[in-house]
Amino acid sequence: MARAAIPGRLTWQLGQVLELIDEAPRCKSIVLDVSDWRGHRAGQHVDVRLTAQDGYQAQRSYSIASAPEDPELVLTVQRLEDGEVSPYLVDVLRPGDDLELRGPIGGYFVWEQALDGPLQLVAGGSGVVPFRAMLRHWTAGRRESAARLLYSSRSLREVIYRGELTRLAHGGGVDVLLALTREWPDGWEGHRGRIDRGLLERAAWPPEHRPLVYVCGPSSFVETVAQALVDVGHEPSRVRTERFGPTGA
């Protein structure tokens, strides 16, 4: 997931690319070794800066996909065809390369073990990236609160972290529901269509359980889901949103 970068006083540092992992069409995870990394919270992001030979710089922000407990920092990037940064990260970057980054950034859209209530995650497309960090953090902890994920994708092959989500759903203790909006395989028994009010009422934690809800994805998706959650009775103060739109990433 990419966002417009937020200026700050953090120091730029180098991370060495250890591995590139194909997650879905047009989408790769970048495993990094950052020697001076001081840790992060699940849900935060980093700025990434590229510098051309002529000195031109382009900068974008990407969610951290790794949990605080993971040994390496992981970013997951989906290529935008007209982007400045994401095509390089997905198609050109190789193991051994250095990547300039700054962070971690963000304090609102984070989840920690100490927070009360069931954990409800609602993702659209690459909005699932920070939720991987949250679910890994949840798995590594006490699991005192149950966790659910509703994830909207255009097709099954475009589901990011498909293998990991399947493992979490079958033996990992996480309720995972996929909503496919454009294509679905023969015999698909999951939800067909977008995440709407009806699906939220059937599959999300009900308001009386007072879940802490995180919604992440394209701006229109986030706005629609957040409003539907409030309409069915969820407390606005317990619905946290992170949105992104066309940024030239």
Quick one: pLDDT band at residue 218, thresholds 50, 70, 90? Answer: very high
Residues 94 and 42 in one domain: yes
What is the structure's pLDDT at 116? 85
Report the CATH number that the domain containing residue 153 is assigned in CATH. Answer: 3.40.50.80
Question: How many domains does one find in the chain?
Answer: 2
Cβ atoms within 10 Å of 92's Cβ, excluding its own: 9
Report the CATH number that the domain containing residue 47 is assigned in CATH. Answer: 2.40.30.10
Range of the domain at 100: 2-105
117-163 residue pLDDT tens = 899 999 999 999 999 999 999 999 888 789 999 999 999 999 999 99
Q: Which of 105, 139, 174 is the last residue of a domain?
A: 105
Q: Which of 52, 80, 105 is the last residue of a domain?
A: 105
Q: Which of 75, 105, 135 is the last residue of a domain?
A: 105
The three state secondary structure string of the chain is CEECCCCCCCCCEEEEEEEEEEEECCEEEEEEECCCCCCCCCCCEEEEEEECCCCCEEEEEEEECCCCCCCCEEEEEECCCCCCCHHHHHHHCCCCCEEEEEEEECCCCCCCCCCCCCEEEEEEHHHHHHHHHHHHHHHHCCCCCCEEEEEEECCHHHCCCHHHHHHHHCCCCEEEEEEECCCCCCCCCCEECCCCHHHHHHHCCCHHHCCEEEEEEEHHHHHHHHHHHHHCCCCHHHEEEEEECCCCC
1-51 residue pLDDT tens = 655 544 445 899 999 999 999 999 999 999 999 998 999 999 999 999 999
What is the structure's pLDDT at 3? 58
Asked whether residue 112 is assigned to any structural domain, the reply reads no
Quick one: pLDDT band at residue 239, thresholds 50, 70, 90? Answer: very high
Residues 161 and 92 in one domain: no
Asked whether residue 34 is assigned to any structural domain, the reply reads yes
Asked whether residue 30 is assigned to any structural domain, the reply reads yes
Asked whether residue 70 is assigned to any structural domain, the reply reads yes
Asked whether residue 43 is assigned to any structural domain, the reply reads yes
State the pTM of this model: 0.92
